[in-house]
Amino acid sequence: MGQFKLHPQLAQDCEAVLDWPLCKLLLMNNAQVLWLILVPRVEGVEELHDLTRGQQHQLWQEVEMLGSYLSQTYAPHKLNLAAIGNKVRQLHMHLVVRQEDDACWPEPVWGNLTPSPYNEAEKMALVSRLRADLH
């Protein structure tokens, strides 16, 4: 995993939270919904089948750990999980906490949310909480 580089769009749109055994965990900088992204730290991977079986298993373990945490901590009406990759081809998994009163419910967040960044204090408090809870 030595040559891994985070896609520039993800680096621009997100705040790094921490690294797990396979994935880099990111917080999408949009305060309208709690939106986290897992990026396998494997260079050149665009599709799930590009990972080895062991890496695929580890990715699903990390998705499950994060999903369980989000469900238990934030009690979403629905937890959205997606790997779209049309604009950013680097494999990444979105986990989005959805509530019936969020900014675009029941529509998907993709293409339906205007950018609304966290203020710096809110963002750093959330990142600190996520790091403490998920380390």
> Considering the entire predicted model, what is its pTM?
0.95
Task: Beginning with the edge strand found earlier in the chain, give each strand of the sheet holding 14-19 in spatial order.
Answer: 14-19, 23-28, 34-40, 93-98, 78-82
User: Which residues make Cβ contacts (< 8 Å) with residue 92, sequence separation at least 6?
Assistant: 7, 10, 37, 38, 39, 40, 83, 85
Render pLDDT for 60-92 as a digit per residue (tens, 0 to 9): 999 999 999 999 999 999 999 999 989 999 999
Q: Domains, the chain, ranges and CATH? A: 8-134 (3.30.428.10)
Whole-angstrom distance, CA of residue 95 vs CA of residue 63: 8
Render pLDDT for 18-60 as a digit per residue (tens, 0 to 9): 999 999 999 999 999 999 999 999 999 999 999 999 999 999 9
User: Does 109 have pLDDT greater than 90?
Assistant: yes
| Closest to 22 (Cα-Cα) out of 41, 43, 9 | 41
